[in-house]
Structure 1
Amino acid sequence: MRPAFVLLLIGCLFATPALAEPSQSKSPFHGVWNGSIGKLSIRACFNDDIEGRRSASYYYHRHLIPIELRAEGDSATNTSATWREADGILQIESTSSDQIKGTWRSTDDSRKLAVQLTRVALSAADSADGMNPCGSNAYNEAIVASVKTIHGPVVSVGNVKYRIVTDALPSGRGSDYKGRQQYWETIELLGNNSAIAAINKSIRERIEKQGQMGLSCRSIAMNDTAGEGIDFQEVGVAVVGRWISVTRQSVVDCRQSSIHLSERTYTWDLTTGKQESLFSWIKGAEAVNDGDHLLTEGKLPDALDNFIASRFGQGDPGVHLSMDDLERCYGQHQPGSYSYQLKLASDGIVFEIPTTSNGSCGEAFKLSWKELKPFLNRKGRQFAAEIQSLQRAKR
């Protein structure tokens, strides 16, 4: 069975934002359609946006690569409409409740093919409020079935074993990225206890949440514009005492927008399976939990923030930013003005100022347990002592 998180993630990528039902009636094209262009079978979808804008795509069953269609003029009420793609024009000439007929022609008019489509009945889940046809199972089922899941070799970190699991979609089109695959990479911990099962479930939920970033892409992953899409990749796994940290990097490339880079580190307790927020170890710290950052980013108390700020502009210039560069990237520092991400280390905690979305700036400082002691609460001091005790036992 195809993993559920892959299906949800693909739905996120192929959907357009749907915060509410459109105030006007849906266009006659709205829905999922099956049929043909010439002799080749296709599946198509047409979306109604909340402001009356339309978007659509289709794919040939033999290729399974979505091709974006862009509407020309007002297709909200007309039974005929013109839709453009990179190298062709789809002219819808007649529409009924369950049939579309039209013509596809190449932009140079060298080819002309008949188009015939029949509406596909949607399931209750696909018909739910807020679900756009291009994000539905009915549209994506053939693409989901084509996803290749690759299990990497077993890796050991301390007493923990895991493997990388990669789900890859078929290669997209485009002269610059020909053969490039869209992929999502996550880890799977190996073991049969309830804590491991809970962490694996949480890891899958994280990639589902991050998949929602694809909603900002108005185009479809792997469409006719080279390189567009969204990738997730695990770039680091660390075990410190009874905690495991997984660092995930995402790259979102949307048409008419800059590439967005993001890196997040998530920490779990291997004995309970619960996610651990390192902010809860620090007096007066406050983590963000808005459904995206998921306890990985937050604000520090002024005293600790100022202590870290005292190191700004210092150290190896090949590693750390100068004060000028820091302020250029993040603005002038004031207590509480910077957000931080925290990473657990055996000898302390790393405080990272998040990498800018274009990847040009980033900064990090590690404080030892001794330096952190005045800022830790009772829970933080207890866990710090536990980690230090384990480190001494290994010597």
Structure 2
Amino acid sequence: MIQATVPEPRTRWLGALAVFAMVMTPLVGYLIPLWYAAVLSLVGLLAAPTLVRSRAPLLPMLALVILVGWALISLNWSPAAPHLADLKRDKDVEKFTALKLVLQLALYGAAVAALAQMSHRSARLAGRVMLVGVAFLGLITFADGVLKAAIYQVLHNLTEEPIRPDLAMVKVSMATYPAILLFWPCVRILDAWNFRGRNIAIALIAVCIVAGAHLTGADAPIAALILGGVAWLGTRVIGKPFVRGLIPAVSALFIFAPMVVLWGVRSGLFAWLYMIAPASWDHRLNIWAFTGNLIVEHALRGWGIDASRTFGPAIPLHTHNAALQLWLELGALGAAMAAAFFAWVLYRIVGWTGESRRDGAMAAAVTVSYLVIGGLSFGVWQEWWLALGALAAIACGVAQKSSALRA
């Protein structure tokens, strides 16, 4: 007896939202990275009605809900807590990081959960658009790195005041971060296409991104590509045992970060690193050493959300390390919830790896790349950076579904 194949439900609306996100990725990434928050918020808002019949994963959401709830509670003792009266003035709403976290959790979470329901057909179109966008980001950052941000300056000066060349180079370097995170889903798509020049195409995209990062002075994307590559190769070769090993390793990064820093200072490791590290890393070491000592004072509850901004030049805006910032501001509970969330992510990747090592390798590489960049560069609460994490999760789903029938 021949069983009829049940046709896959069409998801044109979700496919359109995914294509929109991927079209905006190179434009926003190169010109205005901060707008990733607006793009993902819009996608989440428009996709939310499709979640009525879906079952969103509860465990990771629970960890994030507890984390955000604790951030709200910490306003009671945070030296950076604004007055509630400031909510009357729109320009001051930006100061309420904890309030923004509530909105971001809802909107970014809706975007990720909804687009996970996309059909394979919709994902294939979104995947092609993503591949073109990432290739464009790699090419434009490389070209503008060679030209000392001349292209960016021309575009910027059309609508705003002239920008200094050195600041323009920093702006161009921001495009390398989404390029690195979405590089691994693009590798998965190209790998599934199985054409003769796929390895050359992958290598060219990688070279452009790395060269662009180097020319514009961005170290973290290069480190992310290297360590993400290790995770990709380890998952492809070893499989599920390698990803299982990442779970305690990543959890330890969040749980033991301040202890490692304090040991590094007292053992003389930091003093040795000061002698060999470049200036930017020397600055990070100073911040981390100062942060480690502050964490000890309020290790359980933390100093409160956004407290990093209140210590003057010793910590300019944030700690340049996600784990240390979580410990400093939200204490042991905040670090534990972050560790639990990423442990769940990696646990899910173990399942993906069991079904396809290619999918598992992609997801492991993206996760490691995100953690590396977050551990070296940005504040943990920056809305565009959190949005980029949601976009990376969507990209993994797009690549997995668009490659499923080809691999």
The structure that has the greater radius of gyration is 1
Q: Which of the two has greater helix per residue?
A: 2
Q: Same fold (TM over 0.5)?
A: no
| Larger RCO: 1 or 2 (CA < 8 Å, sep 6+) | 2
TM-score, length basis structure 1: 0.24
Q: Which of the two has greater strand per residue?
A: 1
